[in-house]
Structure 1
Amino acid sequence: MVEHLIRGDIRGIAISGIRQMANRVAQYKDVFSLTIGQPDFPTPPHIVEAAARAARDGKTVYTPNAGLPELRDAAAAFVRSKYGLEYRGSDETLVTVGASQAIDMALRTILEPGVEVVLPGPVYPGYEPLIRLCGAIPVYVDVTDSGFKLTAEKLEPALTERTRCVILASPSNPTGAALAPDELSALAELLSRRDLFVISDEIYSELVYDRPHASIASYPGMRERTIVVNGLSKSHSMTGWRIGFTFAPAAITQHMVKVLQYNVTCAASVSQYAALEALTAGIDDALPMREAYVARRDYAYARLVAASFDVAKPEGAFYIFPSVRKFGLDSTSFAYRLLDEQRVAVVPGSAFTPLGEGYVRLSYACSMETLAAALDRIERFADGLSSS
C-alpha cells in the first residue's frame, strides 16, 4: 500500500462542508434542499441550440489555449457594457473551465510558499485549499460585525509585508453581501498604495439587486493589480457547461495562460460556442432570473424575520445567512437536526470557515413553492427549539 506517499497537504484537505451536507441529504427521499448554489432555471434554449449546432458542425476540436478569439472579444465587450471594465479580448481575457479553475490558475500564477492571502470570513470554502496547495497562508478578517463586508478599516491591520494577494468576493457566497461604490473606493485607496495583487471574484455580478454591480478594477490604481474572475454558471444557469473568465492586464495574463495550457489545455469547445451565444444574443438572459431571485430574497428575509431570526438582508447572489445562536445549538447540530426532524437541508455556517459558526446558509435558488414549504418547516423547528 502506498497511500502514505500521498502529499500531506492533500490528505489534510476536507471535503467541502457544502458537499458534505448535500451527501447527507441523499439518504432521504423527501427533503426540501436549500443547500447547493445551483440555479433552478434551465439553461436558455437558444444557448443549448448554439451548442448543439456547434457539435453538429464539427466544432469539437481543441481551441486556442486562451479560448476562442471571438469568445474572448465577446467576454471583454460584455464586462465593458455591463460594468465599464476595459480589457482587450486578444491578450487580457482568458476562457477557463469555470470560475473555480480561473481562481486556481490565478493563485498558482501569483503565489509562492510563505506569502499571505487576506480574505474575509465567513467566505466560500473553495479558496483556502487552493491557497494552501500553493504553500501560501490564508489570513482571515472577521467581517461578521461589518455587514459581512471586508472594509478598508478591517483590512488594513491584516496587511503585512508578506501579503501577496487580497481576495474580494462581491456579491458574497454565503452571505449575499455586495460592496457598494463608496466601500470599493475606500478599499482601492488603501490597496493601490500596496505592492500586491487583488483577485476579485465577481461570479455573481449579474445578481446584484438594489444597485448596479461595481468592480474594484474600475477604480484608480487598481486595474494593473487586479485579476477579475467571472463566468456564466450563475448568470446564465450554465453550471455544468464549465465556462469562466479572467480579465487582467496583459503582463499578468501572459503568465496565467501558461498555467491554463498545462493544466487543462483549453475549455471545452462546444461549451465555448454556447458561451459565445450567451454573451451576445443572451446578454440580458440573467434579468428575468434576477427578478425571480429578488422576489425570493424578499420572501425569505420576511419569513425569517417574522420567525425571530437575526438575519441581514442579502444584496446579491441567492443566499441568505441567518444566525442560529439564539437557539443554543452550533451550526452543524442545527442543520443536522433540521434535516433529521423536518427534512429541510441547509448548510452549517462552519462550512464557510470557523468565522461562519453560529449561522446557517439557505440557498433560494429554488422554486417559490419549495422555498415556502421549507420555511414553514424551519419556522416550526425554530418554534420547537424556542419552547424547549
Structure 2
Amino acid sequence: MKIANRMENLSTSVTMAITAQARELKAQGKDILSFSAGEPDFNTPEVIKQAAIQAIIDGHTKYTAVEGITETKQSIINKLKRDHNIEYKLENIIISNGAKHSLFNLFQVLIEKGDEVIIPAPYWVTYPEQVKFSDGVPVIIETDDTTGFKVTAQQVQKAITSKTKILLLNTPSNPTGAVYTKEELTAIGKVLEGTDILVFSDEMYEKIMYDGKKFTAAAEVSDDMYMRTVTINGISKSVAMTGWRFGYLATPKTELVKAMTKLQGQVTSNVNSITQYAAISALEGEADDMIEVMRTEFEKRRNIAVKSFNNIDGLTCINPDGAFYLFVNIQGVTSDSVQFCADLLDKKGVALVPGLAFGTEGYIRFSFATDLATIEEGIKRIKEFVESK
C-alpha cells in the first residue's frame, strides 16, 4: 500500500503531539506538568449542559441541514450584531466542526495551485499546513516581541503580489495573545482597498481580553473590510466547549457559503445536532456570567505567570492582551526551542511547545489555561532548569 503523495506535505500538529506525549508519560506514572494544550481547565457552564440535555429529551437527535439549523444560525447573527454591530443573513452563515474545519473548508473551496496566503508569524500551527495541503503557498511575515507580535500595514503591503488571494489574521492570537486595535485593522484595510484579497479573521479568543481592553472585529472597521472579511469563530475557548466541536464563519459572500456547504455535505455533513442546540445558550449570552468568571481567573494567572517568567534570568515575556498563552523569549538561554523543550520535559517533567512550531524560533509557548498551583510549580521547575544551564 502506498500513501497518497499529498500527505507528504502535511505535518503532524506539534501541539497535539506534545500534549499526547505528556499524557502518555503521565499515564506511565511520571510527574508531568503540561502547559502545551490550548484548552480551558473549566467545565462547560451548567446552563449549556442543561440545554444539551433538553435537546436530547426533545428528540433533536436527527440529521440537520448541512450548514446548521436555522435557530443556531440566527443566534450567530444575533451575537455578531450585538457584539460588533455587523449584520448578516442566514445564507451568510455556516456551522462546521470547529474553526479548524471551517478553515479547511475555506482553503479547499478557494485556493488554486500557486495562490498565496499571507500569514503573520508566530502563527497557529494549522494555518500553513492547511494552505499547503490545498496547493497554496504560505507567505510568512515575521514579527517578534519588539513589535508586540503584530504585523503592520506596511508589512502587508510589501508582502502582496499578483498571486495573493488571502490575508489571514488571528486576533487575539494563538500563540502570542496579541490583539489588533481598531486603528491597526483600519490601516491594514486601507492597504487592501482596490484589491480582491480576502481577509480571514480568526477571532476564536475574542471573549478572553485583559486590562479592560475592547476587542475589535476585522469586519466592523469599515464597509470595505466587511465585504472582504470572512469571520471565523466558535465557542471552544471562551465557553470551555472544546470537545463539543462547534465553529462557524460569517461572510457576506453567499457563493462562498454555498461552495463550503457543498463540500461539507460530502465530507462530514452537519455538526452534532445536540451541540448545535446547546450552542444557542452560549451564543445568546446565557453563559456570560461564567465567561467573565473564567476571564477574570485567566487574567489573574496571566499576571502572576508574566511576572514569574520575567524574574528568570535569560527569559523575557511581554504581557498578552488576550487569549491564554505566553510566548516567552528564551534567546538569553538558547535559540533552539525544540531542544529546550525536549530537555525540559526530560529533566523537569514540564511540557511546553517550541516556538519553531509556530514559525518563530527562540521562543516557547506556555498555556496558562490550568490552575494557579500547577502554573507556579511549572514555572519553578522551568527556573531551576534554566539556572542549571
Q: TM-score range by the shorter chain?
A: over 0.9
One-letter amino acid matched to 1:78: K
1:266-323 CA-partner distances (Å, limit 9, x unpaired): 1110110110122222245421111111111111111111113222211110000111
One-letter amino acid matched to 2:219: A
SS of 1:86 mapped into structure 2: coil
| 1:307 has 2:304 as partner | no
SS of 2:316 mapped into structure 1: coil
One-letter amino acid matched to 2:218: I
Residue equivalent to 2:184: 183
| 1:100 has 2:106 as partner | no
Q: Is the 8 A contact 2:25 2:32 kept in 1?
A: no
One-letter amino acid matched to 1:119: I
Q: Is the 8 A contact 2:210 2:321 kept in 1?
A: yes
From 12, 17, 27, the equivalent of 1:20 is: 17
Q: Distance in 1 between matches of 2:125 and 2:152?
A: 20
Q: Is the 8 A contact 1:78 1:283 kept in 2?
A: no
Q: Is the 8 A contact 2:9 2:133 kept in 1?
A: no
The offset of 1:193, in angstroms, is 2.5
SS of 2:118 mapped into structure 1: strand
One-letter amino acid matched to 2:248: F
Q: Distance in 1 between matches of 2:194 and 2:316?
A: 37
Q: Is the 8 A contact 2:186 2:221 kept in 1?
A: yes
The offset of 1:253, in angstroms, is 2.1
Residue equivalent to 1:245: 248
Residue equivalent to 1:365: 369
One-letter amino acid matched to 2:25: Q
Q: Distance in 2 between matches of 1:94 and 1:14?
A: 27
1:25-67 CA-partner distances (Å, limit 9, x unpaired): 2224311111110100000112111111211222110111111
Unaligned runs of 5+ in 2: none
Q: Is the 8 A contact 1:9 1:132 kept in 2?
A: no
| 1:264 has 2:268 as partner | yes
Q: Distance in 2 between matches of 1:172 and 1:328?
A: 24
| 1:316 has 2:322 as partner | yes
Residue equivalent to 2:220: 218
From 379, 383, 388, the equivalent of 2:383 is: 379
| 1:333 has 2:339 as partner | yes
The offset of 1:116, in angstroms, is 0.4
Q: Distance in 2 between matches of 1:37 and 1:278?
A: 20
Q: Is the 8 A contact 1:200 1:229 kept in 2?
A: yes
Q: Is the 8 A contact 1:50 1:274 kept in 2?
A: yes
Paired residues for 1:1-388 under 5 Å: 2-3=1-2, 6-25=3-22, 26-28=24-26, 29-88=30-89, 90-144=90-144, 145-210=146-211, 211-220=213-222, 221-249=224-252, 250-280=254-284, 281-308=286-313, 309-328=315-334, 330-353=336-359, 356-385=360-389
The offset of 1:9, in angstroms, is 2.5
SS of 1:103 mapped into structure 2: helix
Q: Is the 8 A contact 1:16 1:125 kept in 2?
A: yes
One-letter amino acid matched to 1:212: K
Q: Distance in 1 between matches of 2:268 and 2:17?
A: 27
Q: Percentage identity across aligned positions?
A: 32
SS of 1:140 mapped into structure 2: strand
Q: Distance in 2 between matches of 1:328 and 1:93?
A: 46
Q: Is the 8 A contact 2:341 2:353 kept in 1?
A: yes
Q: Distance in 1 between matches of 2:106 and 2:206?
A: 19
One-letter amino acid matched to 2:369: A
Q: Distance in 2 between matches of 1:168 and 1:94?
A: 20
Q: Distance in 2 between matches of 1:284 and 1:78?
A: 16
1:175-226 CA-partner distances (Å, limit 9, x unpaired): 1111111111111111133211111000111112231111111122111111
The offset of 1:256, in angstroms, is 2.3
The offset of 1:7, in angstroms, is 2.2
SS of 1:206 mapped into structure 2: coil
Q: Is the 8 A contact 2:335 2:361 kept in 1?
A: no
Given the two structures, how large is their TM-score scaled by the length of structure 2?
Answer: 0.94
SS of 1:199 mapped into structure 2: strand
Q: Distance in 2 between matches of 1:290 and 1:65?
A: 33
Q: Distance in 1 between matches of 2:108 and 2:78?
A: 27
1:219-268 CA-partner distances (Å, limit 9, x unpaired): 22111111100000001000000001101012432322222222221111
The offset of 1:161, in angstroms, is 0.6
Q: Is the 8 A contact 2:10 2:133 kept in 1?
A: no
Q: Distance in 2 between matches of 1:339 and 1:200?
A: 34
Q: Distance in 1 between matches of 2:10 and 2:139?
A: 17
Unaligned runs of 5+ in 1: none
The offset of 1:329, in angstroms, is 5.1
Q: Distance in 2 between matches of 1:296 and 1:84?
A: 31
The 4+ residue runs of structure 1 with deviation greater than 4 A are: none
Name the Cα RMSD after superposition: 1.4
